[in-house]
Amino acid sequence: MAWQGIALGLGSLTLNDGAVAYRDLSYRSPSNTYDFLKSSWALFNNVNKMDKSLGHGGCRMVIATGFRVKGSKRGIEDATGKLRSVIRRLGKGLITADEAIEKAKRIRQYSDIVPQLQANFAFTKAYVAERSGTKGGLSGARCFVDLSLFDKTVGKWIQLGEKIKWDDKTLNLSANFSPIIHIGEHVHPYPSDIRSGLEIAQQLAGDKDVLRALRKAAK
């Protein structure tokens, strides 16, 4: 599943029984939102078809929106720096090839660190909603999309199912989802009823001046 996401231009992380695909949206243009939606839908159909061909029940996908805190790359950079040091010393003849191999083996790998998913509330929402399954109203092998991606009225380029009001009172999370039934032919450059990152942020925060608040919080 991870390689499918990468092939479609999505960053991805494989979990025990699934995978996460992620992308930062553009504040200015809805084109990234549209591309992410189309790529996610293609990924869902590929994996769903493969899973069913193996005799299983298919997969479920939840596409959600949310803010994220900029994550730290410290663990990744530390491991990378140590490996470069080993290579540099080997190149200068300060250590032997066998010593380089032993030192490289002792460098701790941080393959599970994904800065984009640290304190990522879209990831949290999607994960909790997917796990809620039928109890939360998200049943079956379907692809559910967060309706905050769209304006109130959606055009004919996409066909959506019933509106599902989902919430998790323990984590104080809520969203309106709909299952995607079909996404039509490419709309160039993007449909007029899909939102940019800024418009989605304004919708989630309920604040037209959310960008100023985000910049202030980042200082």
Tens of each residue's pLDDT in the chain, 219 residues: 333 444 455 677 777 778 888 888 998 999 999 999 999 999 999 999 999 999 999 999 999 999 887 655 555 556 667 778 878 887 888 888 888 777 776 766 554 555 555 668 898 999 999 999 999 999 999 999 999 999 988 999 999 999 999 999 998 999 999 999 999 988 889 999 999 999 999 999 888 887 776 666 555
Listed residue (182, 144, 143) closest to 163, CA to CA: 144
C-alpha pair distances (Å), 32 with each of 4, 57, 100, 203, 218 = 18, 31, 43, 17, 23
CATH of 2-71+113-218 among 2.60.40, 3.40.50, 3.30.70, 1.20.120: 3.30.70
Which pLDDT does position 109 carry in this prediction? Answer: 54
Distance CA 124, CA 140 (A): 20
Which pLDDT does position 2 carry in this prediction? Answer: 33
Q: What are the two backbone dihedrals, phi and then psi, of residue 187, each rounded to the nearest 5 degrees?
A: -105, 120
How many CB atoms within 10 Å of residue 183? 20
Burial class (CB in 10 A: 0-12, 13-18, 19+), 33: buried
Helix (H/G/I), strand (E/B), else coil: 14: strand
Which pLDDT does position 7 carry in this prediction? Answer: 43
Distance CA 182, CA 12 (A): 23
Listed by start position, the domains of the chain span 2-71+113-218, 74-105
Q: What are the two backbone dihedrals, phi and then psi, of residue 19, each rounded to the nearest 5 degrees?
A: -150, 160
